[in-house]
Chains A and B, each alone.
Chain A
Amino acid sequence: MSNKTAFVFPAFITEFTEKELDFLSENSIDFTNYLQRASSAINLDLPEFSYSSNNYRNNELKSQLLAYLFSCAFFDIAEKKGVVPHFVVGYSMGIYASLYAAKSISLEEGVKLIHKAYTIVHELTKTEIYGMGAIIGLPIKDIEYIITESKLDADIININNEHSFVIAGKKKEVNLVLEKAKEEGAMSTVELTVNTPYHSKYLSKFTDSLKQYIDTIPISNAEIPIISTYDQREIVKVSEIKSELIFNLTCKINWYKTVQKLLKKGVSDIYECGAGKDLKKISRFIKGDYRMNLIYKILKEPKKDSFSI
């Protein structure tokens, strides 16, 4: 073990720990300011956030932006305290926060990227309804069998851990896979609250328009290496970052392998840098000699225990 650290950035927030706003405010971070900056960048109303309101919960774009802004705010505290990880990784749409942490993009450029990517791929949902789902506790071969045997238009697009998989496809067929998985003995199945089949073949037709847009965004080399969730390579250069942005939307990802790669690089401590604790939860059943904690843990430690590259 060589005691390296990684920050991982969530794509979504299933449930808040409800410590987020207090923690930001204790560290002199005004989250409203982040919402206002994002709002101005894309000219979109982003109302005040509270744990109980539904302003963000049922809106795919706004919930992505919220997760991104929380991650950026937490990273800003880390940076202010001199806590810098050796690697960063974004889970799914968490890629934008990882780019912010690596100083490849500004907060506003990240907001614009999320907004534009969403707008481009959202075209797909005008002609067909798509969806995503998670299956927990059924072997991957059983899920593959369900899909092929019933000739369903859905794919496994992410392996979270040994027992948790994400599927995407046409909504009706995704729901059929979930139903059959439950009948086959899945411990639980969850329909995700998205209408876009992220990381799936359905988005590959938007590759050119995404490329064109990404070329207009100022992107810098990463100051902290980013690990790809697509093929687990280490990314620093602008050209690689641009490719990864496309792969991340249009190709399958593998979270399990990505964490394994971090461990091979000598990472022993992984911190979830963002709101909620979704990534900590899915780290169960990812084998290895490492600790996974929420970002509060390292940020609350005295400065002498902090680390930097």
Chain B
Amino acid sequence: MAQITDKTRDEVKEVVLDFFAEECEMELDEISEDSNIISDLDGDSLMFLELIEIFKKKFNLNIELKTIGKYSIKNPVQTIGELIDMQLLIIEHENNILDM
């Protein structure tokens, strides 16, 4: 189980914001933790998957996509802030996220 620090949160936030800014061709200051992924950013599940792949590589995570799929049905995210929190939980708990 990985230890989540303020530094980890900052790192995850930076990756998420950079990713959406690039994908949505928006300026970084146009995206905040309150931005709605679907209605404000036109996000979709493939974007979400791509972000997960980035974090899998960055943090060398042992987690199956379908585990995240099962988790996200019960815990859907709507905003960038919620997405950052979910990524932190994935980093922290990896495949055990469903046991939470």
Residues in A with CB closer than 8 Å to B44 are 188, 281
Residues in B with CB closer than 8 Å to A182 are 69, 73
CB of B45 within 8 Å of the partner chain: yes
Contact B47 A185 (CB under 8 A): no
B6-14, B28-36, B60-68 - the one binding chain A: B60-68
Instruction: Select from chain A the residue with minimum beta-carbon distance to B42.
Output: A15
Q: What is the bound-complex CA distance between A42 and B10, given in angstroms?
A: 59
CB of B96 within 8 Å of the partner chain: no
Q: What is the bound-complex CA distance between A282 and B49, given in angstroms?
A: 12
A80-129 contacts to B, CB under 8 A, are none
Contact A284 B69 (CB under 8 A): no
Residue of B47, B48, B69 with most chain A CB atoms under a 10 A cut-off: B69
Q: Residues 161-175 of chain A: 1 if any B CB is under 8 Å from the residue's CB, otherwise 0?
A: 101100000000000
Contact A185 B65 (CB under 8 A): yes
A59-67, A68-76, A136-144, A147-155 - the one binding chain B: A136-144
Q: What is the bound-complex CA distance between A264 and B46, given in angstroms?
A: 25
Q: What is the bound-complex CA distance between A101 and B50, given in angstroms?
A: 33
Total interface residues in chain B, CB < 8 Å:
17
Q: Label chain B's interface by main secondary structure.
A: helix
A257-297 contacts to B, CB under 8 A, are 281-282, 284-285
CB of B78 within 8 Å of the partner chain: no
CB of A187 within 8 Å of the partner chain: yes
CB of A219 within 8 Å of the partner chain: no
Contact A163 B66 (CB under 8 A): no
Q: What is the bound-complex CA distance between A139 and B64, given in angstroms?
A: 10
Q: What is the bound-complex CA distance between A80 and B49, given in angstroms?
A: 39
Q: What is the bound-complex CA distance between A139 and B67, given in angstroms?
A: 12
Residues in B with CB closer than 8 Å to A285 are 46, 49-50
Seen from chain B, the residues whose Cβ lies within 8 Å of a Cβ on chain A are 42, 44-50, 64-70, 72-73
Seen from chain A, the residues whose Cβ lies within 8 Å of a Cβ on chain B are 15, 136-139, 142, 161, 163-164, 182-188, 281-282, 284-285
30 contacts between A and B (CB under 8 A): A15-B42, A136-B45, A136-B46, A136-B49, A137-B45, A137-B68, A138-B65, A139-B65, A142-B66, A163-B46, A163-B49, A164-B46, A182-B73, A184-B66, A184-B69, A185-B67, A185-B69, A186-B66, A186-B69, A187-B48, A187-B68, A187-B72, A188-B44, A188-B45, A281-B44, A281-B46, A284-B46, A284-B49, A285-B49, A285-B50
